[in-house]
Amino acid sequence: MRSIWGSKLKLAFAATAVGGGVGAAKIANSDDPATALKLCTTVPVRLFRLSVTAAAIAFDYEYSLMGLPEYSDERANVVHEVHTRSARRLEDLCFKNGGIYIKLGQHVGQLDYLVPLEYAKTMRESMLNRCPTSTYDQVCHVVKKELGGAPEEIFDEFDPVPIASASLAQVHVARTHEGQKVAVKVQHTHMTDTAAADFATVEFIVNTLHRFFPSFDYRWLVDEVRETSPKLDFLIEAGNNVKCMDNFRRLSPHIADYVYAPTIYWSLSTSKLLTMEFIEGPQVNDLKGIKKLGIRPHDISKLVSQTFAEMMFKHGFVHCDPHAANLLVRVLPSDRSSFFGKRKPQLVLLDHGLYKELDTYTRTNYAALWKVNF
């Protein structure tokens, strides 16, 4: 057993050393010397945690299951125990490293159709509702670096307490000098600055472990997370916002008035900070709030279905993060009706950081499948 753990530590150190070279290549590409210096001190620590955790998980599977008959009850029980231990190790790693690792954990928590249930359950219970926040000093640093001044200089008002926080950014309410109420989305740059190096080293170590232990193959997960993670450039998110609304006006004019995305303030937006129109309204699953507006819940469910059907089958450009907090409801601004329960709804789409483009072949086949099943 001592030789096993000695081998594990050797593998961890080797992976850290070689993976460090991969991460260093990403660090060297940084245009900001201060950021590069910070990465040089934080990435090796994060990489070492990753290497040790990955090695511990791989060795646990390899040696805990050694010699156990396939399909036996004993093996099934041990597999459950190893899954549970490994999920806890991964959970601990994600919280300690933060940033893109939180996004990785959240993603695993939604893959119960692909990963062992022990992983999905552990990540879902701990990750989905626990997101990091930046301190106000960190927010001020980002605002000053991106917009050239402190929040109180750039904006007439700026609430230091965020109204929402996610794995990669948080949102503050502010008011421009012209009097418009806006939502300012600020990246957790103390965590997202390491994203490129994190992705590179995670991919390297997963590939390395697969070479040592062919049964440990999670290479697909790295590709999946990279494909489905929101882009760290907020100008891409802003462009998706504009493109989404343009698609509805051009391709779906019959419901274009009933779907809305916040206006972007381009002069107050950069790759790490996004300023947009502030919109209030109940979330799409807030039945009581929707009824208070005089809107029938049935009309909301119909509108949500129509909206995403149009994106999937006509536009081929689909909003891929439609959880309740990103779907708000308000009364259609042009609706002057005072009849309770008959007011027209408008669906407000927030957070356009993650979109998927569907080619014609995919849309055609999905439409055929939809027709057969529905």
Residue 136 burial (CB count, 10 A): 15
Closest among 324, 337, 325 to 294, alpha carbons compared: 337
Backbone φ/ψ region at 231: left (φ over 0), alpha (ψ -120 to 50), beta: beta
Single-letter amino acid, residue 166: A
- Are 91 and 123 a contacting pair, CB within 8 Å? yes
**Coil, strand or helix at 72:** coil
What token pair was written down for 225? 């997370």
Query: 321 catalytic, yes or no?
Result: yes
Which amino acid appears at position 320 of this protein? C
Contact between 293 and 305 under an 8 Å Cβ cutoff? The reply is no
Collapsed DSSP state (helix, strand, coil) of residue 274: strand
Kindly give the pairing relationship between strand 157-158 and strand 169-175.
antiparallel
Torsion of CA 197, 203, 207, 210, to 10 degrees: 120
Q: In the structure encoding, which two tokens stand for residue 196, read together? A: 């490129």
Catalytic-labelled residue, pool 159, 286, 321, 335: 321
CA atoms within 13 A on the CB side of 15: 31
Question: What are the Cα distances from residue 208, in Å, to 18, 64, 88, 104, 283?
Answer: 10, 20, 22, 19, 44
User: Which alpha helices (H) appear in the chain, and where do they start and end?
Assistant: 2-28, 33-64, 73-97, 100-108, 117-127, 136-147, 151-154, 189-192, 195-212, 219-228, 234-251, 287-292, 297-309, 360-373
| b/e 112-126 (16+ beta carbons within 10 angstroms → b) | eeebbebbbebbbeb
The DSSP call for residue 168 is S
Please list the active-site residues: 321
